[in-house]
Amino acid sequence: MRAALIALIVTLAGGIGSGALAQPAPGAIDWSGFYVSSLAGATNGNADMKTVTGRLQYFDATDAAQIARVGKNDIDQWRPSGGLAGGYGVQFGNVLVGIEVSANTLFLDEEHVRSETYITVPTAQFRIKQSVSADWMATLRPRLGWAQDNWLGYVTGGIAATQMKMHTLFTDNAFSGYSEASKSKLVAGWSLGFGGEYALGNNWSLRGDYLFTRFGEVNSVSDVTSTNNSGGTMNHSADLDVHGLFIGVTYHFH
């Protein structure tokens, strides 16, 4: 993965004309100071969603086991992404120590629908519709890098946040069973990744990054209504992992 990112950076560097960005200066580059980056790439959002029964008035133990199996699903989606990053670093010899903040779009909005015939009532079916969405994510991450001539490689890790929305709908045609849950929550998480930059001069550089982010869980409980008025509840949860691949242009303030 890292070799592919570095190759992509080199290709981009070769394609940018000398009139747009400065050519590399002779000698080593000083990576110290403030910088801002414009990023573009793609993100893969993977949500682990679960719907299980709570109070069992409407369901029996066989129904509960069946619903738990059908209600466990992964929602996976690739989306284009753009964002901004900025930070500050201090170079000690070849070692760079710094901190970076970033924000990028996710555009995650996917749903999963499954239907199955009740084991206990072969003439009736139930249906579970699950969806999750998140529009953005932000991170705050220290960076530790190694600088060599015009190259900088680094690892990074820190905290992350996003606004995650979860929706679940359960229906059946046994006794018109119905249960619906919606929850929107600001969730925290953590990010780990690595990347590299190639300096095109004292102020401009190209960068490529991979970032893995894991967010916390969103939970909700919904009541079950039916024509036989037996009641009951259902429990719903979703968590989110995000893989991000980005390339970008960085301006360094010297």
pLDDT bracket for residue 27 (50, 70, 90)? low
Residue type at 201 in one-letter notation: G
pLDDT at 254: 83
DSSP codes, 31-84: --EEEEEEEEEEEEEEEEEEEEE-S-SS--HHHHHHHHHHTEEEEEEEEEEEEE
> Residue 75 above 70 pLDDT?
yes
Q: What pTM value is reported for the model?
A: 0.84
Give the span between the Cα atoms of 247 and 7, in whole angstroms.
Answer: 11
Which residues fall within 8 angstroms of residue 21, CB to CB, at 6 or more apart? Answer: 200, 201, 204, 249
pLDDT at 1: 40
Give the span between the Cα atoms of 239 and 170, in whole angstroms.
Answer: 19
Query: What would the two tokens of residue 83 be?
Result: 């964002």
pLDDT at 13: 37
Q: Are strands 125-148 and 151-172 parallel, antiparallel or unpaired?
A: antiparallel
Closest CA to 222 of 34, 52, 69: 52
pLDDT at 159: 98
pLDDT tens for residues 144-174? Answer: 999 998 999 999 999 999 999 999 999 999 9
Distances 150 to 24, 131, 145 between C-alpha atoms, Å: 7, 45, 13
Share the mean pLDDT of the chain.
90
pLDDT at 173: 96
| Residue 139 near residue 159 (C-beta atoms within 8 A) | yes
pLDDT tens for residues 110-140? Answer: 999 999 999 999 999 999 999 999 999 999 9
